Amino acid sequence: MQGTHVIVAGAGLAGLSAAHELALAGASITLIDARDYAGGRVRTVREFASGQHAELGGEFIESDHKELVALCRALGLRLVRVLRGGFTHRFRDEHGTFHLSRTAPWEALADVLAPLVRRYKTSAGDSSAAAVREMATMSLREYLRQARAPGDVHSMAAALRAFFLADPDEISVLPVVEQIAKGGSPAQVEFHRIAGGNGRLADALVGETPARLLLRHVIRAVAHAVDRVVVSVTDAGGLTQLIEGDYLVMALPASTLRDVEIRPALPEDQQRAIQRLQYGRATKALVQTSGALFGLRHARAFATDGPVGAFWDASEEQGTTASIVAFLAGGSASGPLRESAAAGGRELLSDVCWLGMNRAPVTAVHVGDWTADPWARGGYAFIDPGFDPAWRPLLARRAGRIVFAGEHTSQRWQGYMNGAVETGQRAAHELLHVVGR
């Protein structure tokens, strides 16, 4: 790609991964992002005592995140195993009695959803199959009601809001069926973080990628022709610039991509898919105390059906002189968590008093409201009953000299950091194929 100028819209992991691959192939890169930092929804907070850090955005890396693991290895970044006990679920039964279990929620859901899982497997997981498209039109809550699932299964489904970032009545039953069919419980896998913080991946990609990096530049419009693309951006001073390139990697989330005027317009079916894709409401709060919150407990991560959402030890690999607990609430729990965080870290810790955490003084609180973030407008994408799964390929379909990337375009890893890396690399290879290197 020597002499080829590629514009990359979005400096999250998808855009950075695409830029890195294309630069290795000899392309000239201009990387544009509206934020004042590179990394997008990956953000490591380092303003904690005792030199600790924690993740306000994307956090966990699993062993089968092959693209992300390989990229970290290539960049010399070490992965640290965390939360070896996985997640424990706390949920109420139909009588209101609380229970703790590592496996019950997913086992119960697998039993209730077994007929749909069989139908999904019979269709070979084909998103365009009639049976798969039909089940996608039903919410998880609606199916549980039709199946006459007991109250505790409904509570278990609510405990999954921190995973899907959506309530059972918001999310299609299809993503839950897919999770059970392909991988079972996501709460009992091997979890890793990048040593020193996940933000080091973004920093390494920026450092290893020769590129013109334009931060605080908002993309307003794209004009694409048979021989070039022209991107209109507004800089931090409010001035409009036109940037011309040979190709464009569009790595903005669909939530903000729909605000960009593209001329000529994308095909109607592709526009519909981009416009219709939903993003989960998400709030994440990090609370540091001057003592060890989890002590010697084996269980260091919990998912609840209450407004506190899920929470876990966010600093277990960083010593015991201080401790950070991360709270993540999705769907209707997002607002209450944000309100509790506004009242202070002690308010949040009081919500998990049933765990017997110590009363060490709170030293810092950081809150990330990803729904209010103008450049994300949600945590990550999810499939609701109004989104036809047959539209999924349209999110990544090339339009002339524009290729698309981002976790929302991933068929297997939607919502994961690996989905961003995988699709960024896929978009780069797609361009390399078009140009013929």
pLDDT digit string (tens) for 81-102? 999 999 988 877 777 788 787 7
* Amino acid sitting at position 356: G
Q: Are residues 302 and 157 in the same domain?
A: no
> Which residue in 17, 416, 336 sits closest to 167, CA to CA?
336
Q: Are 56 and 284 in contact (CB under 8 A)?
A: yes
| Count of alpha carbons within 13 angstroms of residue 104, beta-carbon side | 18
Asked if residue 236 and residue 251 are part of one domain, the reply reads yes
End-of-domain residue from the set 158, 184, 210:
184
Domain that holds residue 303: 44-85+189-196+279-369
Q: Does 361 lie in the same domain as 286?
A: yes
* pLDDT at res. 92: 76
Indicate which CATH number applies to the domain containing 81. Answer: 3.90.660.10
pLDDT of residue 350: 84
- The pair of three-digit structure tokens given for residue 219, joined into one six-digit string: 């993309």
Q: Does 293 lie in the same domain as 342? A: yes
DSSP character at residue 381: E
61 and 131 within one domain: no
Do 303 and 345 reside in the same domain of the chain?
A: yes
Query: What is the spatial order of strands in the sheet that 247-250 belongs to?
Result: 212-214, 28-32, 5-9, 247-250, 402-404
For 229, the token pair is: 């693309």
Q: Are residues 134 and 258 in the same domain?
A: no
State in Å, rounded, how far the first CA of the chain is from the last one. 5
* Contacts for 9 with CB less than 8 Å, ≥ 6 apart: 15, 32, 219, 222, 231, 248, 249, 250, 251, 252
Beta bridge partners of 32: 9, 214
Instruction: Say whether both 304 and 348 belong to one domain.
Output: yes
Q: Which residues pair with 158 in a beta bridge?
A: none
Same domain, 425 and 387: yes
Q: Say if residue 288 is in the same domain as residue 358.
A: yes
What is residue 357's predicted lDDT score, i.e. its pLDDT? 66
For the record, the structure tokens of 292 come out as 């060890």
Mean pLDDT of each 10-residue bin along the chain, 437 residues long: 94 98 97 98 96 97 97 98 91 77 81 96 95 97 95 86 95 95 81 98 98 98 97 97 98 98 98 98 95 81 89 92 94 95 87 73 95 98 98 98 98 96 98 87
Within-domain flag for 90 = no
The radius of gyration computed from the CA coordinates of the chain, to the nearest angstrom, equals 22
Q: Residue 317 is encoded by which pair of tokens?
A: 């690999």
- Regarding whether 209 and 262 lie in a shared domain, the answer is yes
Report residue 299: phi and psi, to 5°. Answer: -80, 120
Number of domain units in the chain: 3
SS3 356: coil
Beta-sheet pairing, 282-289 with 278-279: unpaired
What is the pTM (predicted TM-score) of this model? Answer: 0.95
Residue 157 and residue 142 in one domain = yes
